[in-house]
Amino acid sequence: MSAVSCAKSKQQHSANYDLVVSQLLAQMTISEKIGQMSQVNGAEGSIPDDFAAAIRDGKIGSVINEVDVTTVNELQRIATKESRLGIPLLIGRDVIHGFKTIFPIPLGQAASWSPDVIEQGARIAALEASTVGINWTFAPMIDISRDPRWGRIAESLGEDPYLCSTLGTAMVKGFQGNKLNELGSIASCAKHFAGYGASESGRDYHTVNIPENELRNVYLPPFKAAAEAGVATFMAAFSDLNGVPASGNKWLMNDILRDEWDYNGLLVSDWDSIKQLSTHGFTEDDKQAALMAIDAGIDMEMASPTYRDHSESLIAEGKIDIAHIDQMVARILTLKYQLGLFENPYTCAEQLPNIVNEQHLNSAKDAAIKSCVLLQNHNNTLPLSTANINSLAVIGPLADDGYEQLGTWVFDGEEQHSQTCLQAIKKHVGDDVLVNYAKALDNTRTDNIEQINDAVALAAKSDVAVLFVGEEAILSGEAHCRSNIDLPGKQQYLIDELAKTGTPIIAVIMAGRPLTLAKVIEKVDSILYAWHPGSMGGPAIADLLFGNAVPSGKLPVTFPRTVGQIPLYYAQKHGGRPVSDDSYVHMNDIPMRAPQTSLGMSASHLDTHFTPQFPFGFGLSYSKFSYTDLELSAAEINFNQTLTITCQLTNIGDVASDEIAQLYIRDLVGSVTRPVKELKRFKRVHLLAGESKQVSFELCAQDLTFYDRDMKLNAEPGKFQLWVGGDSNASLCADFHLLANN
Ligand code: GLC
């Protein structure tokens, strides 16, 4: 990076700290500088002598996973009162979707399509995490995720760059507040930079091969948006990206992040990801790993000790320039100043709101309500009414499990704060309805079907059965990938047996990923997809089941019919031989001895229809909506004009409800092929029964830009299509032209 651009970017981010940082740097020894670049794991509420000594000697810049506030304050006291220069510590923790009040998993929150829900959830998480001295969270995770086999899709914001960018920046804002040094604000972290979600075969930590054009047009935009939103830190991915592991990838970490994007925040490795450069076979040993990571510009090493062990010798050998180290340490010190840690490194919990307070729980309930997606509702089985049912069977391994409903990445959440679905249903119906409960299966994976007959008997004698199935929390999240994404264990067998009773069945599915639901769909009346809904999942789902709230969630990720369709996403390329309903032939419909070319030649699978089970953006309501009167302010725009798109959105059902109107475009011809649809705007609209509102969106040339064949960000003149509707199958369409920029 040239000195000028670096100085410029520092001026942009921290003009008022450059002087104090440079003055402090000038006093630091090499050992103290390297100490700042090291993040070590806490000791679970204790401070062993060697830990205290290392802090006292300035050999540690950050502690991760210490959540005992007394211990954190003592660590800060040692660092600031007993070390030579008194530099405070960054205290990091994975506060991914709540600290003590647990919100729906990020993929669930993404289904709300609500930046406000996301920001509020992150704000509450930051306030609660601050009570124990955490000042840095490793979130938002903004890896574009298009493979539901991958366990970490649970902590992502889905498959779409625009939705992920919008919601990711809302999460940054929630965590960081207006200023990092305000009470309750914590530094956030854009992770995992970059391309991690494309891990081959949906296996975690696996190879990632993404052509640069695809990387720039799909996987990088949410990170660029986070950088522009002022995210305080970035985290390097574990992935071997196109043969160069991200944690040693100078093109990614320096050329893109620092030079192109002019980002000057702290860049931390992932856990041991620097040491793992040798495991990848990218470096010979720890010393070379440290060299490659420092050269790439990874400012801080999480967990592994390669920086501590080898940086001084690398500097002494002239392989690393101390000026480069100074730049890295400056970014770390700057964040500590921005957080106000030099003024006050200590935590006074009494100055912060109580954790798990009523307002926080109500916010978590609202988030869960907006996150649930109604996928099916045959015969309008939902909403239920206590007026016309006398008995209700609540069945399944996830009906009354306050731990499992929290989902993955819940280091600090506690089951005791959860309200389960069974509890909430009983509370809701009171004495009006007889509630019969049967767990039916010990857990979601068991093959033990001994309890199923009792559950079936309960369903048979009940007016309706509400079934709670899906995945336990452990079946998604980091390193928890699945090659088969059907309901695990004997849950399908349970559904099949319940269906034989003829009792209407409502399936509430809790999972950390899209599941393949073809066999579920044909056996149940309604499906409410709740992801893992968090502490308040019970009351939220009860309100939705009984119509006190109306489902409004929309899928942030495509649901495939079969795992064999993966990767399957709405923004696919058109290809040269696209398939259509007219051209598609299913294997079962092929005549005997059909001639080889008789089936037509198009991009499809013989054994599975080419469409998804449920498309991106899909979600039903208890009402229905119509989109009409699509109008454009012009048939063409140039690079300086704005196109206004309006349409009439009408609630043609009989209950008030929210609808998330979506705007998609297609660039029909590009210097590189373009997706058949791209989400560009969305808006949550509340409509009373029968009410109609004009929905309006604006687009300009900037919204039409993409990285072209020469990797330049451009909008290319030509014809575009646009659609407005309630999901990515939107059909209300119009054309417009972007004129050449003369
Ligand atoms: C993990 C994850 C990362 C997390 C970090 C600290 O391995 O990849 O997302 O923030 O280590 O727990």
Q: What's the per-residue H, E or C state across 392-449?
A: EEEECCCCCCCCHHHCCCCCCCCHHHCCCHHHHHHHHHCCCCEEEEECCCCCCCCCCC
Buried b (16+ CB within 10 A) or exposed e, 691-709: eebebebebbbebbebbbe
Residue nearest to atom 7 of ligand 1 (CA): 271
User: What number does the ligand 1 atom closest to the CA of 138 have?
Assistant: 10
Going from the Cα of 252 to the center of ligand 1, the distance in angstroms, rounded, reads: 19
What stretches in the chain show pLDDT beneath 70?
Answer: 1-15
Q: Do domains 372-545 and 625-738 have the same CATH topology?
A: no
Q: Of residues 160, 270, 299, 667, which has the active-site annotation?
A: 270
Going from the Cα of 682 to the center of ligand 1, the distance in angstroms, rounded, reads: 31
The pair of three-digit structure tokens given for residue 640, joined into one six-digit string: 């300086």
Residue nearest to atom 1 of ligand 1 (CA): 271
The fold of 17-351 is TIM Barrel (3.20.20)
What DSSP string describes 604-621? -BTTB-SS-SB-TT--B-
Q: What are the extents of the domains in the chain?
A: 17-351, 372-545, 625-738
User: What number does the ligand 1 atom closest to the CA of 191 have?
Assistant: 9
Residues having CB within 6 Å of any atom of ligand 1: 94, 138, 191, 270-271, 478
Residue type at position 487: L
Cis preceding linkage at 290, omega within 30: no
Distance (Å, rounded) from C-alpha 51 to C-alpha 265? Answer: 27
Going from the Cα of 300 to the center of ligand 1, the distance in angstroms, rounded, reads: 14
Going from the Cα of 466 to the center of ligand 1, the distance in angstroms, rounded, reads: 36
Residue nearest to atom 3 of ligand 1 (CA): 270
pLDDT of residue 1: 32
Residue nearest to atom 6 of ligand 1 (CA): 271
Which of 40, 65, 138 to probe ligand 1 with, by most ligand atoms within 8 A of CB? Answer: 138
Residue nearest to atom 10 of ligand 1 (CA): 138
Which of 40, 478, 480 to probe ligand 1 with, by most ligand atoms within 8 A of CB? Answer: 478
Which of 175, 189, 266, 270 to probe ligand 1 with, by most ligand atoms within 8 A of CB? Answer: 270
The CATH number corresponding to 625-738 among 3.40.50.10800, 2.40.10.10, 2.60.40.10, 2.30.40.10 equals 2.60.40.10
299 annotated active-site = no
Distance (Å, rounded) from C-alpha 307 to C-alpha 290? Answer: 6
Going from the Cα of 579 to the center of ligand 1, the distance in angstroms, rounded, reads: 41
629 neighbors 648 (Cβ within 8 angstroms): yes
Going from the Cα of 584 to the center of ligand 1, the distance in angstroms, rounded, reads: 44
Task: Region of 492 please: left (phi>0), alpha (psi -120 to 50) or beta.
Answer: alpha
Look up the CATH architecture of domain 372-545: 3-Layer(aba) Sandwich (3.40)
pLDDT of residue 415: 98
